[in-house]
């Protein structure tokens, strides 16, 4: 209807949301001063605006030029900026004119209004009155209305030379409504009879709806099982639509209606009773959206200027006192009742969805009742000042009502087919029969009405279940139009009305009300749910909604209902209106941001709870680690030996002691965490996905995303509990923690719809990379840096020794130095755990970093060789001539530096070898079906193969941890050094001379007191036994890069080293050769390390008897050193 569309338009344009930023007057000029047009805040415009307000509406630009100079300067911009505002006021004026016309027509036609008989007509009439009053009241709240209209008028006249045609009437309207209530009361004086009679028809309905919770409980409202015999009996009423009519709407009708037509309050007692009952229910009623009317204050001010209304003012004060004292407890009791009653009803309907058919009206009544209580709390919590009992206007359990409302709505959507099947049969077999009987009993029925009624009966009778089976959509809204056309009482004069009058045929009205409701169950279920349960009002009460959500998250018993808040954002789309499309994007942004923040917070709390449980599980698992067994074993031995334990030693609980409970009611921290997690997961499981402004939202994805990020950080914290400390946990301990975390996360699949397998794979895979998805450090980066910067650096400084016997690095405690135990981080089990944590990608990253350090040393070694090139070339040519060697060797510089750097390379390669061995064991256990083919492929490698094919096979084997004769990673690293050089021949010459340099430098080690071979570690305390691996692997890699024969060059090195050591053995100064036996063992270590050298090759240049004697001597010395000193 045109009037209704205009009413809606004015209502929408007059009151705007807090997110609307343009083309609306109320927001720009009243609600948000920051968004006013710029010229409103300019100093130069201030005097002009004041003058316009003073002279409004009598504005003549020709005689006011001296006051409107700034306006004339920016007239085009002002005219363009204020156009939307001005025309909004014009819309309000036109709406007022149409309302005048319509109300006068209704009075002249003597229309009959009764909410129980002609529900839609009566409801629209009362809505029109309330909407009109709301628009006028909102208009008066715009402080700058005169300035806006006056500025636009002035600029319009400046540009067009004449004023706008609507301006005189608009200006007059603004003046008339300076006191809006006084003017409205004058306007509605002639309509008092029609309005009061209409409101009186609501009296019985309002009294029935305005019961307390105790009365509802006595009436067993919403109880489907109170009468088992009538459980499947249909719930019918003479006025079905009145059953789910909002109590808030009724209060608004009564309060505003009697405010405008107040004269009937003194003449009609029933009107006074109804008015007083409405005033006792609420302190505030809604005008539009978040604009409210402080009922008692406004009415008291309006009545205070009317003579003889002292008694009415006393009634108002008494009602206000009653509302302040009793409305809070009344509504709190209602909410408590609704939580229990609706929960029971939802559970029964979910178990027996067939009951939705006969009890459908109960569902919509429950939704309407719940919505009324939610919105009452919403507007009062925001506007009620803090009094003696603020707790009456807060409710931490409101989430349960919101959740139950959504459960009911989903239940109706899910079983809509049940509703349709039930009501299509009800209409065709019962309603039609009743209607036919009533029509036949009519004493007077004109022919035209008879034809319409017969058509109506025929249309309803044609409905069958086949329409549902064929998935045909019902379109029954035209039946309502037919019914309204049957009684044309809106615009037809009394003398011209047909004999069939609705007021005289209530039976028809009752049956038609029932039929209309049943037809809505076929084609308008979604619209009816929006009418009864729309909560889009919350998009204008964001702060209150956020407070509710925060209180819910703090209440453990309400956590399971937290999902109701993000789901509530799906209703925000109902706040949009076609006549205000500009606010759509802002409402969408609000809804999505709120939904996102709610889900982020729920996911955050869930993640915290999950990771806290994981940490508790890790603490329990940690008690089973071997390091804690030692104390238990020691205690048992002491007890057996009857030794007294030290005083003050803490008593450790044995693993499993936490499972012994004396009282099951005592909840541990782990119990509380599990309960909280169960509640949160239950909440997340309620909804798989939902749509907010055409955006599909999946709650589980929020949890997955946050859990992935937080789990990565938690795993890193396992390795580095103290962020600012350089210390790390042992890889085996971290692996135990990761396994404990993974075990619990896998069990999480039974609680929430989350692919924890994919989550774990993603997180653990990220931990094998240098940085995770968020750019933060991973286990791979932490352990790579720690082993390089702590373990290997201390090894190069002599604090840590590589022990081939123990297959680990061993710490050598030094006085004044506090160091870690290297064997706890580098033994076989730790390398195996490190490989499991870092995986193949992480181990490759570790290997690449190790190779980078090797190449750094090689760069320095090349520089040292270049410095001594001339002497090294001569030594290589004359190593069989002792006299010349004696003259050439002193010319070499930085000999100790060369040996030190080669030793560091050896230490790095030894560590890499251990890491590769750990990787091999893990890979064999995980993928034995892949390991065997790789090893088989490696066995087919022979010297005649193409070197590229060989390196490809070795690279595959190295990735699985299988040791190779040539290290492909080292070859790749050294080949990059080759690219930086200008001459390959020069690089090859340097590589050969490097071996010469190392070979002739070995005798120098005999002077070092640390160069003593120890059988306990099968090595030297200065790590020079690592030279063997460095020499062999660097040689193999270098001569592979230069495509030379590796064996030939190693034989040359063996020859040079043998000659140098044999010459040292003949040295007359025994101090220079004091550790000759220990140093000579390096020759045997070289042969053992290399697959290119053999004992027979060594025998040709270094007699094996010397090695045997050396082994005997160092073994004897080690045995003597182990004897206790006397």
Summarised one tens digit per residue, pLDDT across range 21-36 is 333 334 333 445 566 7
Residues 6+ apart with CB under 8 A from 785: none
Cα separation, 35 vs 29, whole angstroms: 8
Q: Over 90: is that where the pLDDT of 626 sits?
A: no
Query: Helix or strand or coil: residue 562?
Result: coil
Strand partners, 288: 291
Report whether pLDDT(13) > 50: no
| Cβ(589)–Cβ(19) below 8 Å | yes
230 three-class SS = helix
Tell me what the mean pLDDT of segment 404-415 comes to.
Answer: 94
Dihedral of CA 470/473/474/475: which sign?
A: negative
- Banded pLDDT at 674 (limits 50, 70, 90): very high
Burial of 443 (0-12, 13-18, 19+ CB in 10 A): exposed
Residue 730 structure tokens: 């042992």
Angle, in degrees to the nearest 10, between helices 1076-1089 and 1046-1065: 170
pLDDT at 367 over 80: yes
Range name among 260-274, 574-588, 652-666, 868-882 with the lowest pLDDT average: 652-666
- Identify the pLDDT of residue 607: 95
Is the pLDDT at 396 greater than 90? The verdict is no
The first and second tokens of residue 737, run together, are 């923690």
Structure tokens at 1124: 């206790």
Q: For residue 734, what are the CA distances in angstroms to 389, 676, 748?
A: 54, 27, 21
Give the number of other Cβ atoms within 10 Å of residue 1125's Cβ.
Answer: 4
Give the pLDDT mean for 939-945.
86
Supply angle C-alpha 817, 818, 822, rounded to 5: 110
Rounded distance between C-alpha atoms, residue 658 and residue 620, angstroms: 9
DSSP labels for 148-217? HHHHHHHHHHHHHSS--TTHHHHHHHHHHTTSHHHHHHHHTGGGHHHHHHHHHTTHHHHHHHT--HHHHH
Q: Residue 498 — pLDDT band, cuts 50, 70, 90?
A: low
Paired with 810 in beta bridges are 801
Check whether 651 has a pLDDT greater than 80: no
Q: What is the pLDDT of residue 94?
A: 92
Q: What is the CA radius of gyration of the chain?
A: 46
DSSP state of 1014: E
CA end-to-end span of the chain, whole Å? 117
Q: Has residue 445 got a pLDDT over 70?
A: no
Higher pLDDT, 392 or 340: 340
Instruction: Give residue for tokens 């490097």.
Output: 994
Split at pLDDT 50, 70, 90, the class of 1066 is: confident
pLDDT at 78 (0 to 100): 85
Residue 708: alpha-carbon gap to chain centroid: 11
pLDDT at 184: 93
Let me know the angle formed at the C-alpha of 72 by 69 and 77, rounded to the nearest 5 degrees.
135
Q: How many CA atoms lie within 13 A of 631 on its CB side?
A: 14
Phi, psi angle pair for 224, to nearest 5°: -90, -10
Distance between CA atoms of residues 509 and 506, nearest Å: 5
pLDDT tens by residue, 178-229 = 899 999 999 999 999 999 999 999 999 999 999 999 999 999 999 999 888 8
Percent with pLDDT over 90 in the chain: 48
Count of CB atoms within 10 A of residue 602's CB? 25
Question: Who has greater pLDDT, 506 or 473?
Answer: 506
Residues in a beta bridge with 284: 294
pLDDT of residue 1074: 80
Q: Which of 535 and 511 is assigned the larger pLDDT? A: 535
Residue 756 DSSP SS3: helix
Q: Locate tokens 């410095």: which residue? A: 867
> What pLDDT does 446 receive?
66
Tokens representing 475 are 């379109």
Q: How far is CA 63 from CA 48, 49, 58, 982, 1053, in A?
A: 13, 16, 11, 92, 112
Task: Compute the average pLDDT of residues 494-499.
Answer: 49
Spell out a b/e string for 649-667, using b for 16 or more CB atoms within 10 Å of the CB, else e: eeeeeebeeeeeeeeeeee
pLDDT tens-digit map of 911-926: 999 999 999 999 999 9
| Choice between 1006 and 917, residue whose per-residue pLDDT is larger | 917
CA distance 1025 to 803: 9
Angle at CA of residue 753, ends 751 and 758, nearest 5°: 110
Q: What is the pLDDT of residues 785-794, one digit of tens each?
A: 999 999 999 8
Average pLDDT of 651-658? 73
Query: Helix 731-747 crosses helix 584-622 at what angle (to 10 degrees)?
Result: 120
- What does each C-alpha distance from 307 to 180, 192, 303, 314 come to in angstroms? 19, 19, 8, 14
**692, β-bridge pairs:** 695
C-beta atoms surrounding 584 within 10 Å: 16
The per-residue pLDDT for 218 is 93
- DSSP H or E segment with residue 511: helix 506-523
Please state, in angstroms and rounded to a whole number, the distance separating the CA atoms of residues 835 and 780. 10
CA of 442: how far to CAs of 37, 456, 460, 501, in Å? 65, 16, 20, 11
Mean pLDDT of the chain: 85
- CA 282 – CA 380 distance, rounded (Å): 8
Q: Is the confidence at residue 495, as pLDDT, over 60? A: no
Q: Which two tokens stand for residue 941?
A: 């490698």
Percent of the chain past pLDDT 70, that is, above it, reads: 89
| Residue 729, Cβ density class (10 Å: 0-12 exposed, 13-18 middle, ≥19 buried) | middle
Other CB atoms within 10 A of residue 193 CB: 13
- Please report which helix (H) or strand (E) contains residue 145, including its range: helix 145-160
pTM: 0.86
């Amino acid at each position: 209807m045109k009037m209704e569309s205009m009413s809606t338009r004015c209502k929408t344009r007059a009151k705007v949301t807090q997110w609307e930023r343009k083309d609306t007057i109320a927001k720009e000029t009243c609600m948000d001063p920051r968004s006013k047009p710029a010229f409103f805040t300019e100093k130069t415009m201030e005097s002009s605006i004041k003058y316009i307000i003073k002279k409004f509406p009598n504005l003549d630009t020709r005689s006011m030029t001296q006051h409107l100079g700034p306006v004339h300067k920016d007239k085009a911009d002002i005219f363009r900026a204020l156009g939307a505002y001005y025309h909004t006021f014009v819309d309000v004026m036109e709406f007022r004119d149409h309302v005048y016309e319509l109300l006068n027509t209704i009075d002249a036609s003597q229309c009959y209004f009764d909410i129980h008989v002609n529900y839609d007509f009566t409801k629209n009439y009362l809505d029109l009155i309330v909407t009109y009053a709301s628009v006028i009241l909102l208009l008066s709240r715009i402080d700058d209305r005169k300035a806006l209209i006056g500025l636009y008028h002035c600029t319009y006249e400046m540009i067009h030379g004449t004023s706008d045609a609507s301006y005189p009437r608009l200006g007059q309207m603004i003046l008339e409504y300076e006191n809006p209530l006084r003017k409205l009361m004058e306007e509605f004086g002639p309509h008092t009879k029609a309005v009061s009679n209409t409101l009186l028809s609501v009296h019985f309905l309002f009294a029935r709806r305005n019961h307390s919770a105790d009365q509802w409980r006595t009436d067993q409202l919403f109880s489907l099982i109170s009468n088992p015999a009538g459980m499947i009996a249909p719930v019918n009423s003479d006025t079905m639509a009145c059953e789910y009519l909002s109590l808030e709407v009724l209060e608004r009708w009564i309060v505003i209606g009697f405010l405008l037509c107040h004269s009937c309050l003194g003449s009609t007692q029933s009107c006074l009773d109804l008015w007083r009952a409405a005033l006792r229910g609420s302190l505030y009623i809604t005008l539009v959206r978040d604009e409210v009317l402080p009922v008692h204050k406004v009415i008291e001010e309006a009545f205070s200027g009317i003579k003889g209304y002292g008694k009415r003012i006393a009634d108002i004060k008494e009602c206000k006192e009653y509302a302040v004292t009793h409305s809070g407890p009344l509504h709190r009791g209602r909410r408590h009742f609704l939580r229990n009653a609706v929960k029971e009803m939802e559970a029964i309907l979910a178990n027996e969805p067939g009951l939705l058919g006969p009890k459908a009206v109960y569902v919509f009544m429950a939704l309407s009742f719940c919505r009324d209580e939610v919105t009452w709390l919403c507007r009062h919590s925001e506007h009620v000042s803090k009094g003696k009992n603020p707790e009456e206007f807060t409710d931490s359990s409101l989430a349960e009502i919101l959740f139950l409302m959504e459960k009911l709505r989903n239940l109706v959507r899910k079983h809509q087919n049940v509703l349709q099947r039930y009501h299509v049969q009800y209409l065709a077999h019962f309603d039609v029969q009743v209607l036919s009987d009533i029509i036949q009993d009519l004493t007077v029925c004109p022919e035209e009405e008879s034809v319409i009624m017969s058509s109506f009966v025929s249309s309803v009778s044609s409905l069958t279940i086949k329409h549902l089976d064929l998935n045909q959509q019902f379109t029954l809204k035209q039946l309502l139009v037919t019914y309204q056309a049957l009684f044309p009482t809106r615009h037809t004069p009394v003398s011209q009305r047909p004999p069939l009058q609705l007021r005289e045929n209530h039976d028809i009205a009752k049956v038609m009300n029932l039929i209309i409701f049943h037809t809505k169950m076929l084609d308008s279920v979604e619209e009816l749910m929006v009418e009864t349960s729309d909560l889009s009002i919350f998009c204008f009460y964001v702060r209150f909604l956020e407070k509710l959500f925060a209180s819910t998250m703090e209440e453990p018993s309400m956590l399971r209902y937290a999902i109701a808040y993000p789901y509530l954002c799906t209703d925000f789309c109902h706040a949009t209106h076609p006549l205000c499309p500009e606010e759509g994007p802002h409402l969408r942004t609000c809804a999505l941001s709120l939904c996102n923040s709610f889900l982020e917070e729920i996911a955050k709390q869930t993640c915290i709870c999950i990771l806290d449980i994981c940490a508790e599980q890790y603490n329990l698992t940690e008690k089973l680690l071997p390091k804690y067994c030692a104390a238990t074993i020691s205690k048992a031995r002491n007890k057996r030996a009857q030794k007294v334990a030290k005083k003050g030693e803490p008593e450790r609980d044995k693993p499993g002691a936490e499972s012994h409970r004396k009282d099951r009611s005592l909840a541990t921290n782990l119990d509380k965490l599990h309960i909280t997690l169960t509640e949160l997961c239950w909440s997340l499981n309620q909804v798989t996905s939902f749509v907010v402004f055409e955006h599909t939202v999946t709650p589980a994805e929020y949890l997955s995303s946050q859990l992935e990020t937080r789990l990565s950080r938690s795993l890193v914290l396992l390795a580095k509990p103290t962020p600012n400390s350089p210390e790390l946990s042992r890889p085996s301990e971290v692996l135990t923690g990761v396994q404990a975390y993974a075990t619990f996360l896998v069990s999480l699949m039974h609680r929430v719809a989350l692919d924890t397998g994919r989550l774990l794979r993603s997180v653990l895979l990220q931990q094998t990379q240098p940085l995770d998805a968020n750019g933060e450090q991973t286990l791979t980066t932490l352990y790579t840096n720690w082993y390089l910067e702590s373990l290997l650096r201390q090894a190069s400084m002599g604090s840590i020794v590589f022990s081939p016997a123990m297959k680990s690095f061993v710490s050598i405690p030094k006085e004044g130095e506090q160091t870690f135990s290297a064997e706890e981080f580098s033994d076989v089990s730790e390398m195996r755990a490190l490989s499991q944590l870092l995986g193949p990608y992480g181990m490759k990253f570790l290997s690449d970093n190790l190779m980078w350090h090797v190449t750094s040393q090689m760069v320095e070694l090349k520089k040292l060789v270049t410095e001594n090139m001339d002497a090294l070339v001569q030594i290589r040519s004359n190593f069989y001539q002792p006299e010349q060697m004696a003259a050439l060797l002193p010319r070499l510089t930085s000999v100790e530096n060369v040996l030190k750097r080669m030793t560091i390379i050896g230490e790095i390669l030894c560590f890499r070898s251990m890491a590769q061995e750990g990787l091999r064991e893990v890979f064999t256990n995980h993928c034995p079906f892949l390991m065997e083919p790789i090893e088989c492929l490696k066995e087919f490698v022979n010297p005649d193969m193409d070197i590229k094919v060989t390196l490809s096979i070795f690279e595959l084997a190295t990735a699985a941890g299988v040791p190779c004769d040539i290290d492909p990673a080292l070859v790749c690293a050294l080949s990059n050094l080759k690219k930086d050089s200008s001459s390959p021949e020069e690089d090859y010459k340097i590589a050969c001379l490097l071996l010469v340099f190392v070979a002739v430098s070995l005798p120098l080690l005999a002077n070092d007191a640390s160069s003593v071979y120890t059988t306990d570690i099968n090595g030297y305390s200065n790590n020079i036994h690592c030279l063997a691996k460095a020499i062999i692997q660097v040689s193999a890699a270098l001569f592979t890069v230069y495509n030379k024969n590796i064996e030939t060059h190693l034989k040359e090195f063996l020859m040079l080293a043998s000659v140098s050591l044999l010459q040292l053995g003949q040295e007359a100064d025994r101090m220079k050769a004091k550790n000759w036996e220990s140093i000579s063992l390096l020759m045997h270590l070289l042969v053992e390390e290399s697959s290119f050298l053999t004992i027979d090759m060594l025998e040709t240049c270094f007699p094996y008897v010397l090695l045997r004697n050396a082994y005997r001597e160092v073994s004897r010395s080690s045995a003597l050193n182990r004897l206790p000193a006397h």
